[in-house]
A = this chain, B = another copy of it.
Amino acid sequence: MSTTGTRPPHAAPRVAVDLVILTVRESRLQLLLIERGKQPYLGRPALPGGFLRGHEKLDDAARRELHEETGLNGSRLHLEQVHAYSRPDRDPRGHVISVAYLAIAPSLSEPVAGSDARRARWTPLEQVTSAPDALAFDHAQIIADAVERARSKLEYTTLATAFCADEFTISELRQVYEVVWGRSLDERNFSRKIRRTEGFVVPTGAKRRPETGRPATLYRGGPAKTLYPPVLRAGIDGDLR
């Protein structure tokens, strides 16, 4: 294969988007990886993504790739731009600038279906951090940056509700924080704090009955987008676990 080094030295860069799609499954933070079906990095795990088409906006390209490569419906998921990566040697085919997006999927999202999605699968984040060199391109770095963005936004925004189904309990919301941050939180203080933060969650009136124990109030995400006071992860509350 001689696809490298054949472009003129000052060719205009091509522009792509890559997606870091996070969810909480089986009490672990997981992300959607595909197996590359062509060179370079054939067969290696990589982020879903692709080149910008025509006069498309980056946001539109991200939603299109989300649907094409994973079968997930982008219009219902949280999706935000994170960073543009531009090292000239990051893609052996030539200069490719990749704009990374962070997407958050609720836990119930199915393992994925869709046209180009046969090779897509949920992967625990830990697997990526313990063997970052297994990934194609600079995708390990992109993942690290996007995950840090998500961790940070849990502090001062209502992003955590995007990890939950339409209706959820405070306990489920707390588990999102615990899994994303990798530390335990006191359920009782957490519960009070969330419910006292105006607009974070609104009760639906219904209850969910656990297998055993008192039924929990069900909530939906409220109108608030930012949190004051923030939920800070730097506290001394729970231990790492």
Q: List the interface of chain A (C-beta within 8 A of B).
A: 9-10, 12-15, 52-59, 81, 83-84, 86-88, 95, 97, 99, 228-230, 232, 234
Contact = CB atoms under 8 A, between A and B. Distances in A.
27 contacts: A9-B55, A10-B53, A10-B54, A10-B55, A12-B12, A12-B14, A12-B15, A13-B15, A13-B52, A13-B55, A15-B15, A15-B97, A52-B86, A55-B95, A56-B86, A56-B88, A57-B86, A57-B87, A57-B88, A58-B84, A58-B86, A58-B97, A59-B86, A81-B84, A228-B232, A229-B232, A230-B230
A8 to B, nearest CB: 10
Given A58-B84, A59-B86, 12 more contacts: A9-B54, A12-B14, A13-B55, A15-B15, A15-B97, A55-B88, A55-B95, A56-B88, A58-B86, A84-B84, A84-B99, A228-B234
A235 to B, nearest CB: 10
Contacts of A234: 228
Contacts of A58: 84, 86, 97
A149 to B, nearest CB: 13
A95 B12 CA distance: 13
Name A's interface SS.
loop
A99 B228 CA distance: 30
A52 B14 CA distance: 12
Contact of A81 (B10, B54, B83, B229): B83
Nearest to A10: B54
Contacts of A88: 55-57
A210 to B, nearest CB: 36
Contacts of A228: 232, 234
A232 B228 CA distance: 10
A57 B90 CA distance: 10
Contacts of A55: 9-10, 13, 88, 95
A230 B86 CA distance: 32
Contacts of A99: 84
The 4 closest A-B pairs by CB, nearest first: A55-B88, A58-B86, A10-B54, A57-B86
Contacts of A84: 58, 81, 84, 99
